[in-house]
Amino acid sequence: MSDHLEDYRPIVGSQVIDELRLLADRVRHLRLQHINSTSVGGGVAEILTRMIPLLRDLGIETTWDVIKGNQAFFAVTKAFHNALHGGEEHITEEMFQVFRDTTEMNLADLNTYGDVVIVHDPQPAGLIARKRDVGGRWIWRCHIDVSTPDPRVWGFLQDHVAQYNASIFSMPDFAQQLAIPQYMVPPSIDPLGDKNRDIPDADVRAVVERYGMDPGRPILTQISRFDRLKDPLGVMQAYRLVRRRHDCQLLLAGGGATDDPEGEEVLREVREAAGDDPDIHILELPPFSDLDINALVRGSTVVMQKSLKEGFGLTVTEALWKRKPVIGGAVGGIRSQLLNGVTGFLVHSPEGAANRAVELLGNPKLRDALGDAGHDHVKENFLTTRHIRDYLLLMLAMEHGDTDLSVLTASSPR
Amino acid sequence: MTTQKSFIFDTQLHLVVVTGIKACTLQELRTELARISESSVFLHTHQEYLAHDFQQTARYNDFARWVSEALREEPLAEKLAAIDLLAFTSIAELRDALLRTIDTYLATLDRPGYQCRPEEAFHFCRSRSFVLPTGLIADDVGDFFEKVASISHASLYFHFFEARLRLGRQTNDFSRWLTDRGRPDLASAIDGLNPYVRTLDELRRDIVQLGAQT
């Protein structure tokens, strides 16, 4: 990871960096505050960890605060998360009350001071109640797929969201009927972060061997939290179908997030389903395993992300950046990353995933072509620098209102 | 020193705003297309030109791509993609052409139109754009061609695509300026470059080459 924007110039090009500096000049007088629910684990924390030093390097005063919550609160927000994804959850009035109580506690404890405050995901959404006291422009950033939400949970959340100045979604499909502007900002990965930077082949091989796999044989990999919506059991089913035609190993690796109490249960189910197959490798990676994850993806032959629901799917982005052929579930943000047949393959079932895996394992040229196109697609659309540009533009939009076009002159920096 | 005769290179950067309006059938697409903002029409017909080469292989605008992929109405997709964007000097004219093309197709359709699955719906978006000076200024024609070589894709896109159609300036900004500077020959040559059949890199290269020939 780099804290210096100039380090990105050789990767993304001078034009991109120069435009970021132009934009930063226009919003440097605004303080930016991010608020979310976890500082470790999960895509949001990763993005903020990378992005904040770079925003500061651009001269933007940027801070990041994390709300507090006990296990009961995170069990509730996990249930909300699943329900917003369209899953069946039994949501009780008590659960709403736990959410309200934790929101009240955080309203009392957490200091909000940004000129622009970006609140990430449902957990801290209730902090909007503070806006009437402290002012500022408040933006709710939704990282999850809410295309078919549970109406009761969305209704509860919407009461909060409607009070924000604007909202951000990762895909147009997730947008809702809201009176506030809904911006589309896909998330991003850091090409210089430990999870994505170039590493020597020898190191890749060493890590693959250290985790008990044979680097000489094909490896199918899914790197993902142990979460039912990521369908690890479906991946295992696909692997077993592939094995009828091709020798290969399966790697299922994931870390936990402090706001995901369901993970252990799913991990147990996955281990049970794997039985005693020596070619199935299930790894529970601790936080800060980024270099190992990087090496494991680079050491893979084909990467899968067979999600049943997905906010965006940064694991897909990470694999594409490493020029890996990716097979992904045709859901959420995976669809905007895998242009079917060009930058990867979209599938709807374990059988579909198996068919594509067999095709890829037998065709190295196809693997290379998809990998190269995928890398270019990520470079253009899903790197940290593009994400920073969008946030700077959002800050500008908060100042200039919701018109279609603002022409800023040289003499009027605001 | 900047004079009125200098060319000020601007750039355009934008956010995509989701309108919440969507379509699952051709009729719904037609109905909403008739009333969405001009910003939305422009975005959905032009954003592919800012994208990487591999996405431009089919040269389908968003409407054409959706009609092809979600509705499987390939003949209409081809017609929508074939609309000559260079023939219009306003978005209103472009919108009319899109609507006429869809209406003609609907009139000949002898079966019920396909309704796509909700997850394949067309989502109307619009752009929230900011135009800002890059700090690059050309004082004479020679200086202009030197600096064109270094401008960003976004800057080139603004002066060529947005200025002509979205801002209703009739032609691209470079040709207007060169005409004012007494070089109608160069203005006309640049105006003759069709930006819709070139990548932005190719367009910039061809402009620079025209300058080098003088």
The arithmetic mean of pLDDT across residues A220-231, rounded, is 93
Asked if residue B20 and residue B68 are part of one domain, the reply reads: yes
Q: Which helix (H) or strand (E) holds A346?
A: strand A345-347
Number of structural domains chain B divides into: 2
Residue B110 to chain A, least CA–CA distance (Å) = 31
Q: What is the pLDDT of residue A412?
A: 47
| B118 and B32 within one domain | yes
pLDDT for A164: 98
Q: Over the stretch B134-149, which tens digit does the pLDDT of each residue have?
A: 999 999 999 999 999 9
Please indicate, yes or no, if residue B70 is contained in any of the structural domains: yes
Is A23 in Cβ contact with B20 (below 8 Å)? Answer: no
Cβ B52–A377 below 8 Å, yes or no? yes
Helix, strand or coil, per DSSP, at residue A240: helix
Amino acid at B72: R
Contact A184 B18 (CB under 8 A): yes
Sheet with A249-255: strands ordered across = A280-285, A249-255, A219-223, A302-305, A326-329, A345-347
For residues B152 and B180, state if they share a domain: yes
Residue B1 lies in a domain: no
Taking CB atoms and an 8 Å cutoff, what residues of chain B touch A15?
152-154
Question: How many CB pairs (< 8 A) connect A and B?
Answer: 104
Domain region containing B191: 7-12+133-212
Residue in B13, B15, B51 closest to A19 by CB: B13
Selection from A293, A383, A284, A280 nearest residue A20 by Cα: A383
B201 CB within 8 Å of a chain A CB:
no
Query: Which of residues 84 through 113 in chain B touch A, CB cutoff 8 A?
Result: none
B203 and B195 Cβ atoms separated by less than 8 Å: yes
State the first-to-last Cα distance of chain A, in angstroms, to the nearest integer: 32
Mean pLDDT confidence for A375-381:
93
SS3 call for B88: coil
State the pTM of this model: 0.89
Residue B43 lies in a domain: yes
Say if residues A68 and A105 touch (Cβ distance below 8 Å): yes
Summarize pLDDT for A205-219 with one digit per residue, the tens: 999 999 999 999 999
pLDDT reading at A258 higher than 80: no
Which secondary-structure segment (H or E) carries A63?
A: strand A62-66
Q: How far apart are CA B42 and CA B50, in angstroms?
A: 12
Contacting residues of A for B39, CB less than 8 Å apart: 404-405
Verify that B66 and B23 share a domain, yes or no: yes
Do the Cβ atoms of A81 and A122 come closer than 8 Å?
A: yes
- Find which of A14, A20, A22, A337 to mutate to test the B interface (most B CBs within 10 Å of its CB): A22
Does the residue B103 lie in any domain? yes
User: Would residue B2 count as lying in a domain?
Assistant: no
Kindly state whether residue B88 falls inside one of the protein's structural domains: yes
Burial of A353 (0-12, 13-18, 19+ CB in 10 A): buried
Name which of A147, A181, A404 is nearest B129 (Cβ-Cβ): A404
Q: Which of A128-142, A258-272, A277-291, B195-209 has the lowest mean pLDDT?
A: A258-272
Mean pLDDT, range A34-56, rounded to an integer: 89
- Measured between CA atoms, the residue of chain B closest to residue A370 is B54
Helices (H), B70-182: 74-82, 91-108, 141-148, 153-157, 173-180
Q: Which residues of chain A neighbour B38 with C-beta distances below 8 Å?
A: 404
Residue located via tokens 């956010």: B15
The C-alpha of B39 sits at a distance from chain A's nearest C-alpha, in angstroms, of 7
For residue B133, the distance in angstroms to the closest alpha carbon of chain A comes to 6
Minimum Cα–Cα distance from B51: chain A residue: A380
Per-residue pLDDT at A198: 96
Q: Residues 6 or more apart from A276 whose CB is under 8 A from it? A: none
Nearest residue in chain A measured CA to CA from B127: A404
Q: How far is B24 from chain A (nearest CA, A)?
A: 12
Contact across the interface for A406 and B135, Cβ inside 8 Å? no
Which residues pair with residue A184 across a beta bridge?
A169, B16
A178 to chain B: closest CA residue: B20
* Residue B17 sits in the same domain as residue B108: yes
Mutate to test the interface with A, among B7, B14, B18 (most CBs of A within 10 A): B18
- Both B117 and B85 in one domain: the answer is yes
Look at residue A10 and tell me whether its pLDDT is greater than 80. yes
Mean pLDDT, rounded, for B17-39: 96
For all residues of chain A together, what is the average pLDDT? 93
Q: What percent of chain B has pLDDT over 90?
A: 69
Chain B, window 125-144: residues with a beta carbon less than 8 angstroms from a chain A beta carbon:
125-135
* The last residue of a domain, from among B126, B158, B191: B126
Do B155 and B79 sit in the same domain of this protein?
A: no
Which member of A18, A183, A400 has the closest CB to residue B16? A183
Interface touch A15/B51, C-beta < 8 Å: no
CA closest to B136 among chain A residues: A410
Whether residue B208 lies inside any domain: the answer is yes
Beta strands of B3-161 (E only): which ranges? Answer: 7-23, 122-138
Using an 8 Å CB-CB cutoff, list residues of chain A that contact chain B: 15-16, 18-19, 22-23, 26, 147-148, 169, 172-173, 175-178, 181-185, 331, 339, 342, 373, 376-377, 380, 389-390, 393-394, 396-397, 400, 402-410
As a whole number, the mean pLDDT across chain B is: 90
Token pair, residue A198, equals: 């170039």
On the question of pLDDT at A296 being above 70, the answer is yes
* B24/B97 same-domain check: yes
Distance between CA A126 and CA A160 in Å, rounded?
A: 6
> Is residue B145 in a domain?
yes
**CA A334 – CA A338 distance, rounded (Å):** 6
Interface test mutation site (partner B, options A336, A390, A402, A405, max chain B beta carbons within 10 A): A405
Q: Are strands A280-285 and A249-255 parallel, antiparallel or unpaired?
A: parallel
In terms of domains, do B112 and B187 share one? Answer: no
**Whether residue B49 is found in the same domain as residue B114:** yes
pLDDT bracket for residue B167 (50, 70, 90) = confident
**Considering B126, B152, B175, which residue would you say is the last residue of a domain?**
B126
End of a domain among B126, B159, B176? B126
B21 lies in the same domain as B117: yes
Query: Is the pLDDT assigned to residue B119 strictly greater than 90?
Result: no
| CA-wise closest residue to B91 among B28, B173, B11, B36 | B36
Residue A74's CB: how many other CB atoms inside 10 A?
22
Chain A: residue whose CA lies nearest to B11 = A19
Instruction: Test B127 with A23 for CB contact under 8 angstroms.
Output: no
